[in-house]
Structure 1
């Protein structure tokens, strides 16, 4: 694959922040810095950066840090203007022995990093992907907050006075939540500890119910978006709306990953060669999108339960001396390839049945 320096004549590196963006314009052939600018992170600032780039003739590319975060607005603005944008997920930062650190330096470093790369990543795009990303983020936060509140409920029941704790003894978590929501704090007993325990437990239970309802609402919306965008994913064994949405937000659009091997690296399911001499071995890949990796792990856990072909595959690999952990890793790589090929083909609607 050609390096970026062979494709364009100008590269604009951008160091993004919440309120400002700093850009450095570099000559792709010589690496010389031609211009610098710091603008506000708003449409007027984006227009200023475009004007800065248009002062230089020739083909150009933008190397932006954080196109899914602080640089999302700029990346969207440039895409609408037909500009070539390169995503920098984690620029290489040399050791700063002399303490060299500033926004202009980081912007210049982003441009040089992009010039040296042979594999150029495209930013994630699409309104459906953005909508799914927001829903997934909000749902994950609600689920985690509900789990923390449940832990607090258990802890406070254990430390509550016996008159309160007796009401929860022998109950599982859902029953405890139901019991706590029905508590009626009163000062008639005159015991401030009992009254406080009843009030706090009731408030915790109500918070849990509200968070669970919020998470359910997000999941319903996620299912609707997936069904309207890529309903064919839901027909795959082990792929539900949350898994499908996670895969879609990582994949984004056709052509973002050049092949299934690149998608596997993104998912952290591609084995890393660790061979030396006559020893041929691979080590576990712990990089990539961990949310995507977790989604694939969920599919790999459900496939052996519900898919006959997967069970036959696992049995065959066991006869070859593979452990269950090694089989699961192989299965995750196979699932990654299957999902990539499905995603890169035009979507097929689900049967009316």
Structure 2
């Protein structure tokens, strides 16, 4: 690649490097070489877009690389505006939020860039949806809701419209999960979330995750039988969807998603139930065991003062699950799993040893 400065060639180069998913050294070299180009071409936007995409998909190994990519994109957008980099930028930001890796995000700057993107004539509804999703993660629900409502008034393709309803529903459901179980406000949020998930599926009848989250919502509303039916339907559609796209159906995907959802709101018993199901359905997936071990470890700590026996049992099971996860994990493991799993294993061992010493 040395001496080549054609942006299109560089973008193709990055695309080709994505094929080498199990070669960390090659990915590292790609990052170094592209970064050298960007430093000498501060105005370039095409390669920067591809670079952010590459970092998101294959480069979540080194915190410094991610920080540098974000800072570079922010510097560029401050000078040239949010179009077109904000699309890839907000994707990286959402991945950081989702994975919980230790990178400080300048919330004010992200918000400023997001609103600047909305106010531009070229703003894409899909990207604006992602910005609303970001605001929701920051608990700026009123702002996010206003953006969602405005987006729903815009004419978009069915897939995008469905996804807007879906993420809107996720926000409402998330709000409901933090409220008192019997409160009127909670039931109102659940009802609104139910409405959004139903609309998402009505627009796109292959959107099986809309049915999954509808099922969760119905269960939270106490509609157990209806929730069960929706979940069964979601699995059938998932099989159909994967087959149409010639992709392998993952029987553990749906229970994993539900388990992770409950884990987010500290509903450990529910999380353990679904994550155990995910492990049974797809025992070779390291992520299932990782999340299950994490859930059991957190639950064990809750039980410590109530029952030493249960505390020890869940902590021991957590250790076992995490060790299985580490054995099954791919050789090339991105953040945060590459650090989180061994750290959790060490913590479990330490806590079990402390429990022995205390007794």
With structure 1 as the length reference, what TM-score do the two structures score?
0.26
Higher helix share: 2
Question: Which protein, 1 or 2, shows the higher relative CO under an 8 Å CA cutoff with sep ≥ 6?
Answer: 1
Q: Which has the larger radius of gyration?
A: 1
With structure 2 as the length reference, what TM-score do the two structures score?
0.25
Higher strand share: 1
